[in-house]
């Protein structure tokens, strides 16, 4: 009797342990009878599908399985089960009609089937989301590839070391290289960039170098690529850094053939030069005749003298415009002479100020000069740099109110001599500052105050500075003034043979 009692207690304990494990396991347990009806399920299954056991007990399991999965389940259960392989993912339908993905293993025991499963719904949703995202990415990649292969511009991708990692077909067409000659090679060493004189552009001045250094897009249209066959291809280049987590991981260089644009510009320059030359004779005649009349002004009435004076001043403005157009055409056509000579910049500035002093006095302005240190003479073309100082100071005087302040500062670094022209005048509106060095640009706030002006001075000034091997930049605030800086290399300018000097003036 004691033995039977002990065996019963053991059986009860085993049943309790089995029942506890069955209902509290993290896994899902489903027991089907030989007719594939629900015989037993644990709490995990009921909670997951939101059923009470009474609602499914004795019902066919296939009623709750997605119809697309039913044939596979039916075949799996009715076939001899190999426990090592009988694993499948299928969908149960919850009470709310949701699909619950179960990764299940089937075990056939006597006349019933045990299914041990794990809820993988979230995993499947993530997988589906990833598949959708990958499909979208593939579609985007296909579109992007199609664009890259058919766009008219050449596109070069580089890594953070400057090695070429991608070229589109247009690069091959425009430059004549094949893909194997470019990929894996250093961009700056493989594709030569030259200026209009045929000299190779140093790495420090190449747009892609400046873009990666400044971490911003750089655009340049003054240079040309040297094709594989040695021919020159004028290009407009846009270099953009690729930045990831504030680190530069590479860059993209987009370029297009601007041979046609260069030819049109050349034709326009030639036309302007021709038209300007044709205007010289009548303007010169008008200048002489009006001067003769004004010299004999005692025979004129006051009204006649004023009218002739207006004619003379208008003619002078036309002469100034024609001279500016001629100078621009000379620089753009490469006909300008650059004749470097050892020059004392401080003395050159003082000579310009002396010439402009009457205008300064007329507006009761204060004009000061500060030379930070004793500067060595620099080998530049004094006529060209004189024009730069003259234009910057003329603008400062013209666009600074009476009683204003103008300061010229000359300083130096190890490699450069830097000139600064400051005024506390009208300033340049921020929204228009990108246009400052463009032809014929005049700021909106200035047109209302000073009607005279061609908008060519700063364009010409920039051209002179850059042709002299220097750089020019500025900072301005509307209503508070403007500061222009330009730098010249201590090593001086490179001599250039030409046909005319920028100082050719009409008499």
Q: How confident is the model at residue 20 (pLDDT cuts 50, 70, 90)?
A: low
The least confident of 14-18, 89-93, 372-376 is 14-18
Return the pLDDT at 450. 73
pLDDT of residue 350: 92
Question: Looking at residue 11, what is its pLDDT?
Answer: 54
Q: What share of the chain has pLDDT > 90, as a percent?
A: 34
Dihedral Cα 156, 159, 165, 171, nearest 10 deg: 10
Return the SS3 of 41. strand
For residue 378, pLDDT beyond 70? yes
Average pLDDT over residues 410-422: 91
For residue 261, give Cα distances in angstroms to 235, 257, 258, 355: 10, 9, 5, 40
| Topology of the domain comprising 337-489 | Heat Shock Protein 90 (3.30.565)
Q: What is the pLDDT of residue 80?
A: 66
Q: What is the CATH number of domain 151-257?
A: 3.30.450.20
Q: Residue 402: what pLDDT? A: 93
Residue 404 pLDDT more than 70?
A: yes
Tell me the average pLDDT across 80-105: 80
Mean pLDDT, rounded, for 380-385? 90
Confidence at residue 385, expressed as pLDDT on a 0 to 100 scale: 93
Where are the domains positioned within the chain? 2-119, 151-257, 262-331, 337-489
Q: What is the band of 319 on the pLDDT scale with cuts at 50, 70, 90?
A: confident
pLDDT score recorded for residue 501: 64
User: pLDDT (tens digit, 9 = 90+) per residue, 243-277?
Assistant: 988 889 999 999 999 998 888 877 777 776 677 66
d(CA 380, CA 388): 12
What pLDDT was estimated at residue 471?
93
* Segment of 149-158, 304-313, 354-363 carrying the highest mean pLDDT: 354-363
Q: Highest mean pLDDT range out of 66-70, 194-198, 418-422? A: 418-422
Please tell me the least confidently modeled range out of 47-61, 302-316, 390-404. 302-316
pTM for the whole structure: 0.53
Q: In terms of residues, how long is the chain?
A: 507
- Domain 262-331 sits in CATH at 1.10.287
Residue pLDDT, tens place only, 162-215: 999 999 999 999 999 999 999 999 999 999 999 887 889 998 889 999 999 888
Predicted pLDDT of residue 15: 55
Given a cut of 70, is residue 500 above it in pLDDT?
no
- Three-state secondary structure string covering 209-249: HHHHHHCCCEEECCCEEECCCCCEEEEEEEEEEEEECCEEE
pLDDT of residue 115: 87
For the cut 60, the answer to whether the pLDDT of residue 7 exceeds it is: no
Question: How much is the pLDDT for 84?
Answer: 44
Hey, do 262-331 and 337-489 end up sharing a CATH topology, with the first three levels equal? no
pLDDT at 110: 75
Is 15 buried (19+), middle (13-18) or exposed (0-12) by CB count in 10 A? exposed
Report whether pLDDT(483) > 90.
yes
With cut-offs at 50, 70 and 90, classify the pLDDT of residue 447: confident
Look up residue 179 and give its two tokens: 């893909």
Distance CA(34)–CA(40), nearest Å, equals 13
C-alpha distance from residue 180 to each of 165, 177, 184 (Å): 11, 8, 8
Q: What is the pLDDT of residue 277?
A: 67
Predicted confidence band at 232 (pLDDT cuts at 50, 70, 90)? Answer: very high
407 pLDDT higher than 90:
yes
- The whole-number average pLDDT for the span 65-76 is 86
Residues 182 and 167 sit within 8 Å (Cβ to Cβ): yes
The mean pLDDT value for 349-362 works out to 92
pLDDT at 505 over 70: no
pLDDT (mean) for 456-463: 88
Chain segment 94-116, per-residue pLDDT in tens: 999 999 999 888 888 778 888 88
Evaluated on CA atoms 347, 460, 287, 295, the torsion sign reads: negative
Beta bridge partners of 1: none
- Most confident by average pLDDT, 284-288, 332-336, 476-480: 476-480
* CATH C-level class of 2-119: alpha beta
- pLDDT attached to residue 157: 93
* Sequence-distant (≥ 6) Cβ neighbours of residue 290 within 8 angstroms: 308, 311, 312, 315
Query: Rounded mean pLDDT of the chain?
Result: 85
Summarised one tens digit per residue, pLDDT across range 426-439 is 999 989 898 888 88
């Amino acid at each position: 009797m004691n033995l039977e009692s002990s065996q019963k207690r053991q059986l009860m304990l085993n049943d309790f342990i089995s029942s506890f494990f069955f209902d509290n396991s993290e896994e899902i347990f489903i027991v089907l009878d030989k007719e594939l009806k629900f015989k037993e399920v644990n709490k995990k299954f009921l909670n997951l599908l939101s059923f009470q056991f009474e609602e499914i007990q004795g019902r066919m399991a296939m009623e709750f399985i997605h119809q697309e999965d039913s044939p596979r389940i039916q075949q799996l259960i009715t076939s001899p089960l190999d426990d090592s392989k009988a694993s499948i993912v299928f969908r149960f339908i919850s009470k709310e009609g949701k699909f619950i993905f179960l990764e299940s293993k089937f075990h056939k025991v006597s006349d019933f089937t045990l299914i041990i499963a794990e809820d993988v719904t979230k995993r499947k949703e993530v997988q589906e989301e990833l598949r959708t995202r990958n499909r979208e990415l593939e579609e985007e990649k296909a579109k992007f590839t199609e664009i890259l292969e058919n766009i008219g511009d050449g596109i070069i991708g580089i890594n953070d070391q400057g090695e070429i990692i991608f070229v589109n077909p247009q690069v091959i067409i425009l430059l004549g290289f094949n893909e194997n000659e470019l990929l894996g090679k250093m961009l700056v060493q493989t594709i030569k960039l030259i200026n209009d004189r045929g000299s190779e552009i140093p790495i420090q001045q190449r747009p892609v170098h400046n873009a990666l250094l400044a971490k911003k897009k750089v655009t340049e249209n003054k240079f040309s690529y040297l094709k594989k066959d040695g021919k020159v291809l004028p290009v407009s280049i846009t270099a953009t850094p690729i930045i990831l987590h504030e680190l530069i991981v590479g860059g993209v260089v987009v370029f297009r053939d601007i041979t046609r644009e260069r030819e049109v510009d050349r034709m326009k320059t030639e036309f302007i030069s021709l038209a300007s030359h044709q205007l010289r004779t009548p303007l010169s005649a008008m200048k002489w005749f009006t001067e003769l009349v004004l010299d004999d002004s005692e025979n004129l009435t006051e009204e006649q003298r004023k009218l002739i004076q207006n004619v003379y001043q208008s003619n002078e403005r036309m002469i100034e415009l024609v001279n500016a157009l001629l100078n621009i055409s000379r620089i753009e056509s490469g006909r300008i002479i650059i004749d470097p000579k050892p020059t004392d910049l401080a003395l050159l500035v003082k000579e310009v100020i002396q010439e402009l002093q009457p205008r300064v006095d007329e507006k009761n302005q204060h004009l000061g000069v500060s030379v930070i240190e004793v500067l060595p003479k620099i080998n530049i073309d004094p006529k060209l740099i004189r024009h730069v100082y003259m234009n910057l100071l003329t603008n400062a005087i013209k666009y600074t109110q009476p009683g204003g302040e103008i300061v010229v500062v000359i300083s130096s670094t190890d490699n450069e001599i830097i000139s600064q022209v400051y005024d506390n005048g009208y300033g340049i509106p921020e929204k228009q500052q990108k246009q400052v060095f463009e032809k014929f640009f005049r700021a909106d706030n200035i047109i209302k105050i000073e009607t005279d002006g061609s908008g060519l001075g700063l364009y010409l000034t920039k051209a002179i500075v850059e042709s002299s091997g220097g750089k020019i930049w500025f900072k301005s605030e509307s209503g508070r003034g403007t500061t222009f800086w330009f730098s010249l290399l201590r090593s001086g300018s490179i001599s250039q043979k030409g046909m005319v000097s920028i100082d050719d003036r009409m008499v």
